[in-house]
Amino acid sequence: MKIALAHDFLTYLGGAERVLKVLSDIFPAAPIYTLLYDEEKMGQYFPKERVRSSNLQHSIFKNRKQFLLSKFPIAVEQFDFSDYDLVISSSGAWMKGILTKPETRHICYCHGPMRFAWDRQAEYLASKNIKGLKKYFVLKLLNKVRNWDKLSSDRPDLYLANSNAIKELIAKNYKPQRGPLAGLEARVLYPPVDVQRFEIHNKDQGYYLIVSRLSPYKNIELAVRAFADLPDQELIIIGTGEQQEYLKKIATSNVKLLGFKADKETKKYFENCHAFIFPGEDDFGITPVEAMACGKPVLAFGKGGALETIRDGETGTFFRENNKKSFLTALQKLEQTKFDPAKIRMRAEEFSTEVFVKKIKEIVEDNRS
């Protein structure tokens, strides 16, 4: 069976790209189709000779994706998958809309519907500081993009959702009325977490840890402002993003933003922290599971994928309202709870790479054309 992989962008190593890396290891002969590719950042994970990028690769706007929104649908549809028996797309926006022959099976591993055009449209506009007349034209463009997203939603033969939260959004936003997906629900397949690279350590250096992209929707600002009320507690933040400089300005002396750290060094911070903090609403959230693989409890916002990985009182605690009071109350509860690192680790192992590999192979076998 001849297989191809497809992924929206290969320009940054995030959770979705780590899923793709596992898929590429399972199917080492499969080429990887993507809209934009950054060899300098991603070549070590996805070698250039294996990547097939779109005709937008040479656009002067390739580093400013918002200027290419109207171009992406056409670019996606220009990829030729006629030689393949199966295509597995890894998509949070565009690549689920690829065109395939009737006899070619298309499995879409969906990290989320096109969030910036659907339920997070307001956040997207705010993050890009889009206002006034410019906002009017961007909204018109997003409406066109949303229409394409809806029309192309019935192209996969099977959706695999990375969480129940995403399964519900797929049903809400797409609701296929025709084709093989009509009346069918997405299947949930949690993304692979490399729990085996982490170990339970008895070391506890007392600091709280966040590992995240520093984007507004990650809600890191809430944690930074909350720790201003906790001068005797230390918060370490690893990651980069558009809010990095802003967070540095509002951070008190007990909050340290370390920027980018390689996986090997980040691993040490996971294993030596007191607890992990996950303040945003995410579709799944790999970093909390990585922390649990170290036997560390997690303080998380009680929405989205965190509700499917963290068990309140057993592997962490939740704050239910998105404000500082709720955050600090939950943090106090975490401090008063006695956690068993071995049980926390056992929970993390339910989301291991090995579990994912076994299940995806079974699904591919069931979907042979």
Domains in the chain, CATH or no CATH each = 3-192+352-366 (3.40.50.2000), 195-349 (3.40.50.2000)
> Per-residue pLDDT tens for 308-319?
999 999 999 999
Provide the H-helix boundaries in 100-219: 121-127, 132-151, 164-173
- Count H helices, E strands: the chain? 14, 13
> Per-residue pLDDT tens for 238-295?
999 889 999 999 999 999 999 999 889 999 999 999 999 999 998 889 999 999 999 9
Q: How many angstroms separate the CA atoms of 195 and 294, rounded?
A: 8
3-state secondary structure at position 278: strand
The rounded Cα 348 to chain-centroid distance in angstroms is 17
- pLDDT score for 12: 84
Single-letter residue type at 93: A
Q: What is the side-by-side order of every strand in the sheet holding 235-238?
A: 255-259, 235-238, 208-211, 275-278, 298-301, 316-319
Beta pairing class for 51-53 and 158-161 = unpaired
Q: How many angstroms separate the CA atoms of 360 and 155, rounded?
A: 20
Beta-carbon contacts of 271 under 8 Å, excluding residues fewer than 6 positions away, are 198, 199, 201, 203, 294
Residue 126 pLDDT > 80: no
Question: What are the tokens at 53?
Answer: 């990028």
- Among residues 95, 37, 96, 82, the alpha carbon closest in space to that of 63 is found at 37
Q: Which of 29-43, 61-75, 126-140, 326-340 has the lowest mean pLDDT?
A: 126-140
9 to 76, 81, 256: CA distances (angstroms): 11, 18, 30
Beta-carbon contacts of 21 under 8 Å, excluding residues fewer than 6 positions away, are 45, 46
Q: If you search the block for the tokens 């961007």, which residue do you land on? A: 138
State phi, psi for 237 to the nearest 5 degrees. Answer: -120, 125
Beta pairing class for 275-278 and 298-301 = parallel
8 Å CB contact between 110 and 161: yes
8 Å CB contact between 107 and 87: yes
10 Å CB burial of residue 131 (0-12, 13-18, 19+) is exposed
Rounded-to-5 percentages of helix, strand, coil across the chain: 45, 15, 40
Q: Which of 29-38, 140-149, 283-292 has the lowest mean pLDDT?
A: 140-149
Q: Read off the pLDDT band of 195 (50, 70, 90).
A: very high
pTM of the predicted model, to two decimals? 0.85
8 Å CB contact between 69 and 94: no
- pLDDT score for 223: 98
